[in-house]
Structure 1
Amino acid sequence: MKNQFRKIMLLAALAIFSLSACSDDENNTTPQSKPTYDMTGFAKGADVSWLSEMEKAGSKFYNASGAEQDCMTLLRDLGVNSIRLRVWVDPQDGWSGKQDVLAKAWRAKNLGQRIMIDFHYSDSWADPGKQNIPAAWTNFKDDLQKMEAAVADHTTDVLSYLKENGIDVEWIQIGNETTTGMLWPLGLASDNNFGNYAALNNAGYDAAKAVYPEAQCIIHIDQGNVLGRFTWMFDGLKAAGAKWDVIGMSLYPEDDNWQTVTDDCLANISTLAARYGKKVMVCEIGMAWDSENAAAMMQKMVEGCKANASCLGIFYWEPECYGGWKEYNKGAFDTNGKPTAALEAFK
């Protein structure tokens, strides 16, 4: 108990320290002029799962005036009211493990931001091209019942750890971009078999609800502009008895297709909400940081999503990335560590 208390106090101190990194302008405001932030309603979000690793590597962030600022505080000042954090089961270097997730969740909590937890159910990336079983679970690769238990235990462990440390979680992804299922090959979905995937999803769903009964659970797949990917998956899952509260989608437009892609995605949000009676969340979005169309794309998507009562919000994926970090070029900061115009849509 003493160790747990010390850990909580340490995390609280770290959170307070991060708040002290606010810009001089904010620190010097009087109580009457201190800005207020809308943390309710439509989610204007950012996935900043790489942030702690970037900071450890020496990355710095600056506001439009050129003043160095804590990144999460800077994002809040730009209108970001929600933070998304991925979770890996046993990451080799600890990044995106539950301790790293808690440290970032504490920072978000102390800024008043809401939190989405994104379970990958893997030791590293899970996406449409790979849904690798965690090393510790390989003995269960042919045993559905034991794999369901592993999913439930991991979900319970992470979420209970967050809750015991005072973190509220509003949304929980049961898998990441599970376009053809999760935990392959056992949970691979096909035209004739959605049963295993539905069972694994439900194990995560039930475990999540046991810890955070009011949280909304998301099934998330990619290419939000392609309606058929969603109807194939959700028709199959519905028939197999899968449980979900929100339909999640990713969208990554390019310069040569962004207007059509965004039109299709916004139309699909309405279609899917009507077909399944569920809300929709754009869990990931991004465009090349130096694209001349990125700001217009984001403005269109934020306005379109906010105007649709079926859409709960939109999350930019790793906007803090800059300078070739991990060779990812779809962040929303320039080479000098300043936010680009793409984030102005959140103001």
Structure 2
Amino acid sequence: MQRRTLLKAAAAGVTAPALLTATGTPASAASSLSIRGIDFSSVPKAEALGAVWRQSDGTQINPVQLLSRAGITHARLKVWVNPADGYNNKARILPMAVRLNRWGIKTIIDFHYSDTWADPGNQTKPAAWSSFSVSQLSTAVSTHTADVLGALTAQGTPADLVQIGNEINGGMLWDTGNWNNLDNLAAFLTSGINAARATTPGVRTVLHLANGGTQSLYQWFFDAMKARGVNWDVIGMSFYPYWHGTLGDLAANLSYVTNRYGTPAFVAETAYPWTLADQDGTANLVNSADQLTSGYPASSTGQNAWVKAVADTVAATPGGKGLGYCYWEGFWTATTGNGWDPTNAASGNNWENQALFDHNDVALPALYTIGSYRA
């Protein structure tokens, strides 16, 4: 996502409770959206630093249990190769997947193929891969993907979906796999897809771009990959209204790509502010009224209306090919030491005003709306 360029476990054997909405009514088990997800990547580090999360009534709760109570179906976990802070790697992903599985939450594994953020403005090779040839990079992608996914499968928590790269508009593993080297990029994607399918039978592989409202970008990219034999299962889109167009643009693109390529799609990332106020002294990425979408104020009501509007848009995709959506980093509240820069513990969070919790760490209505959605 462009934001980067701008700048205790549940006891074993516990039975998960019935899924509840904020009002205590059962969440829809037969929603028209099979993916009602939240990116959960920041949670392990936040927990280690003392973060807490509270239900809408103010009571503190285990964050994984809260996902289940809210009716969330999927947690998205990003994977870095050798991160500076030691988080978002295989060692951290495995125990979190166990916790999520105990509460009935499936995983979306999001490979960045980098030691840090990968997005349209940054696709830096892992340091250990920096001198690799094209062939060596293809092998590294395969080995790394198989290592993480194979370990998840071995412990009984196989991934449900896997992203082979994150927001790869401009390619990945720059410069070798950038959009000027599409043959190389296709080779890397094929290596990752093949490794995912070999280690996780039934997994759905995702190719994920940003700019979800830009049909021309998606046609160019997916035509190019299809022509090179890349065989994906699902198209993932990032869609943030302050960067990526209107809901009408999103609807049109969802309809277009699912029809043109015959595969389903989902919104892999979206978010909206519930306030413009900053909590930790680090300027928020969305911090002024002119960044907002008309009809959606920076309030808990506006945020809740936004997630419902995105859900309705995806659910309206013809042929039932809109699988759902994933809210980006909804649990990333302002916690000292858990900022945006993994190399700098003093860095702040520029996202807490788009989290699904207020500044007292109390869950906002949008969290429950995501999980209890009905078309």
Query: Is TM (by shorter chain) over 0.5?
Result: yes
In structure 1, C-alpha distance between the alignment counterparts of 2:309 and 2:240, rounded to whole Å: 14
Letter in 2 for 1:269: L
Look up the equivalent residue of 1:202 and give its one-letter code: T
Displacement of 1:243 after TM fit?
Answer: 2.0
Does the Cα contact within 8 Å between 2:15 and 2:103 map onto a contact in 1?
A: no
SS of the equivalent of 2:229 reads coil
1:303 CA displacement: 2.1
Q: Show CA shifts across 1:281-307 (max 9, x none).
A: 111111123213321111111122223
- Measured in 1, the distance between the counterparts of 2:125 and 2:13 equals 35
Give the Cα–Cα distance (whole angstroms) in 2 for the partners of residues 35 and 88 of structure 1.
Answer: 36
Larger RCO: 1 or 2 (CA < 8 Å, sep 6+): 2
Question: CA offset at residue 138 of structure 1?
Answer: 1.4
The unaligned stretches of length 5 or more in structure 1 are 1-12, 27-32
The alpha carbon displacement at 1:327 in A equals 2.2
Q: Which of 15, 35, 38 lines up with 2:29 in the alignment?
A: 38
Separation (CA, whole Å) in 1 of partners of 2:28 and 2:254: 27
From 244, 249, 258, the equivalent of 1:264 is 249
SS at match of 2:131: helix
1:275 alignment partner, one of 260, 281, 284: 260
Letter in structure 2 aligned against 1:323: A
- 2:307 matches 1:298: yes
Q: Is the 8 A contact 1:39 1:81 kept in 2?
A: no
Confirm or deny: 8 A CA contact 1:323 1:334 kept in the other structure.
no
| Secondary structure of residue in 2 paired with 1:15 | coil
Q: How does 1:129-278 map to 2 (within 5 A)?
A: 129-140=121-132, 143-190=133-180, 193-254=181-242, 261-278=246-263
Q: Residue by residue, what CA displacement relative to the aligned partner does 1:192-243 show, whole Å, maximum 9, x if unpaired?
A: x421100000000001110112111001010111112211111111122222
Q: Within 2, Cα distance between the matches of 1:266 and 1:54? A: 35
Distance 1:198 1:266 in 2: 27
Q: TM-score, normalised by structure 2?
A: 0.80
Q: Distance in 2 between matches of 1:337 and 1:18?
A: 28
Give, in whole Å, the separation in 1 of the partners of 2:12 and 2:326.
26
Aligned equivalent of 1:15: 10
Aligned length: 321
Contact 1:298 1:343 in 2 (8 A): no
Structure 2 vs 1, CA of residues 157 and 231 (structure 1 numbering), >3 Å: closer, same or farther? same
Offset at 1:20? 9.3
Residue 19 of structure 1 deviates from its aligned partner by 5.9
Q: Deviations over 1:166-207 (max 9, x none)?
A: 1121101000000111100000113xx421100000000001
* Alpha-carbon distance in structure 1 between the residues aligned to 2:61 and 2:13: 9
Q: 1:17: how far off?
A: 6.7
Contact 2:35 2:73 in 1 (8 A): yes
> Per-residue deviation at 1:115?
1.0
Q: Which structure 2 residue ranges, 5 or more long, are not aligned?
A: 1-7, 276-297, 340-348
Task: Give the one of 94, 100, 122 matched to 2:86.
Answer: 94
User: RMSD between aligned alpha carbons?
Assistant: 2.6
- Normalised to the residue count of structure 1, the TM-score between the two structures is 0.86
How far apart, in 1, do the equivalents of 2:65 and 2:247 lie? Answer: 29
What amino acid does structure 1 have at the position aligned with 2:172?
Answer: M
Partner Cα separation in structure 1 for residue 16 and residue 206 of structure 2 = 33
Greater shift after overlay, 91-100 or 35-44? 35-44
Specify the alignment match of 1:80 in structure 2: 72
Contact 1:18 1:70 in 2 (8 A): no
CA contact 2:264–2:321 (8 Å) conserved in 1: yes
How many angstroms apart in 1 are the aligned matches of 2:305 and 2:27? Answer: 26
CA distance in 2, matches of 1:249, 1:34: 31
